[in-house]
């Protein structure tokens, strides 16, 4: 098995895994990063989204070889309790979840949106989150959280 080097959350990590291994399993099982979650395994729900070179991508659908040499950021890399990303703060302020299983992937999609469009309209936020599914009906709270984050927390 070859050693593959990955750039994850700004750190170089070496992984011993077959190069067609889905990135999701490597993040969760080899690197201990549990934010990206398995939902469907086929790019249809967004639970496993991570940023690759700034774009929100399904890690369940991305083989390791395609991720090597690119900049991978998971929700853990966006912020921490000590230095939260505005989206993380806004999600707590808006209490924007029920089970929260969908949350990591949604925040990753939102982070990609805000990086490209600092002041999105509500419709733009919804469109950007359309690749993410939520079954608990937390959609509107999540949209409010993204809009709030874009406005620097004051909403």
What residues make contact with another protein under the rule CB under 8 A? Answer: 17-18, 21-22, 25, 28-29, 33-42, 44-45, 47, 74-76, 79-81, 84, 88, 91-92, 95, 97-104, 107, 123, 125-127, 129-130, 132-143
* DSSP state letter for 44: S
User: Which has the closest alpha carbon to 93: 102, 101, 84?
Assistant: 84
Tell me the window of 71-79, 83-91, 113-121, 131-139 that interacts with ligand FES (CB under 6 A): 131-139
Token code pair at residue 111:
């982070």
User: Are the C-beta atoms of residues 47 and 56 closer than 8 Å to each other?
Assistant: no
- Interacting positions 50-79 with ligand FES (CB under 6 A): 58, 60
Looking at the Cβ atoms of 25 and 101, the one nearer to ligand FES is 101
CA 124 to chain centre: 18
* Interface residue with ligand FES, options 31, 35, 113, 134 (CB under 6 A): 134
Token code pair at residue 107:
């925040």
Contacts of 121 (CB under 8 A, 6+ apart): none
Diameter of the chain by CA atoms? 51
Residue 135 touches ligand FES, criterion: CB under 6 A: yes
At its nearest, how many Å lie between ligand FES and the CB of residue 76?
Answer: 17
Residue 44 touches ligand FES, criterion: CB under 6 A: yes
Looking at the Cβ atoms of 58 and 149, the one nearer to ligand FES is 58
């Amino acid at each position: 098995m070859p050693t593959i080097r990955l750039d994850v959350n700004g750190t170089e990590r070496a992984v011993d895994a077959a190069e067609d291994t889905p990135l999701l399993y490597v993040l969760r099982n080899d690197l201990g990063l549990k934010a990206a979650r398995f939902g469907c395994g086929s790019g249809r729900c967004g639970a496993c989204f991570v940023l690759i070179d700034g774009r929100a991508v399904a890690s369940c659908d991305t083989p390791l070889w395609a991720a090597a040499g690119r900049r991978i950021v998971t929700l853990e890399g966006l912020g921490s309790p000590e230095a939260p990303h505005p989206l993380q703060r806004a999600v707590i302020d808006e209490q924007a979840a029920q089970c929260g299983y969908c949350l990591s992937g949604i925040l990753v999609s939102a982070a990609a949106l805000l990086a490209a469009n600092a002041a999105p309209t509500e419709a733009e936020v919804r469109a950007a989150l359309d690749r993410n599914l939520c079954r608990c009906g937390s959609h509107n709270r999540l949209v409010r959280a993204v809009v709030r984050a874009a406005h620097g927390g004051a909403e």
